[in-house]
Amino acid sequence: MVLHKNRGTEFDDHFAELCIRTLCVYPVGSVVELNNKEVAVVYEPNVENSRKPTLGILTQSNGKKRAAPLVCNLALRSEAEGREVSKVLDPEKVDVDVDEVMEQIKTRGEHSDRLRR
């Protein structure tokens, strides 16, 4: 986020853009809160639009934990349903074991029909 905010001033535009595309705004394993208060873990980056990664959504908007992570590609309007990342969270403060979540997404994540095809 610092690179994005300060490109053209503190950082060269080209360098900042290259770093953002390479590292993505939300690196894999980042714990994020969505605009509807759901908590998720970034599962896959989106090199075309780094603000719209694929997530494993861990909670419902009311804070209730999901039985298995819901895999959601924010770049697909049909899956995102208006969801956007609003902020990055500290995994320790929200009690999220990122390694465990990544394994759950691989083995038992709830994928939409669109992702199964």
- Report whether pLDDT(31) > 60: yes
Distance CA 59, CA 96 (A): 11
Structural domain of 93:
26-116
Residue 18 lies in a domain: no
Read off the pLDDT of each residue in 41-65 and give the average, rounded to a whole number: 93
Read off the pLDDT of each residue in 102-112 and give the average, rounded to a whole number: 81
CATH number, residue 109: 2.30.30
Q: How many domains does the chain have?
A: 1
* 44 bridge partner residues: 54
Judged on CB neighbours under 10 Å (0-12, 13-18, 19+), 60 is middle
pLDDT for 63-83, tens place per residue? 999 999 999 999 999 899 999
Taking all residues of the chain, what is their mean pLDDT, rounded to a whole number? 84
- Report whether pLDDT(24) > 60: yes
Residue 16 lies in a domain: no
Read off the pLDDT of each residue in 100-107 and give the average, rounded to a whole number: 92
Share of the chain above pLDDT 90, in %: 58
Read off the pLDDT of each residue in 6-19 and give the average, rounded to a whole number: 67
- The CB density around residue 17, as the number of other CB atoms within 10 Å, is 15
- Report whether pLDDT(86) > 60: yes
Residue 106 lies in a domain: yes
Read off the pLDDT of each residue in 6-28 and give the average, rounded to a whole number: 70
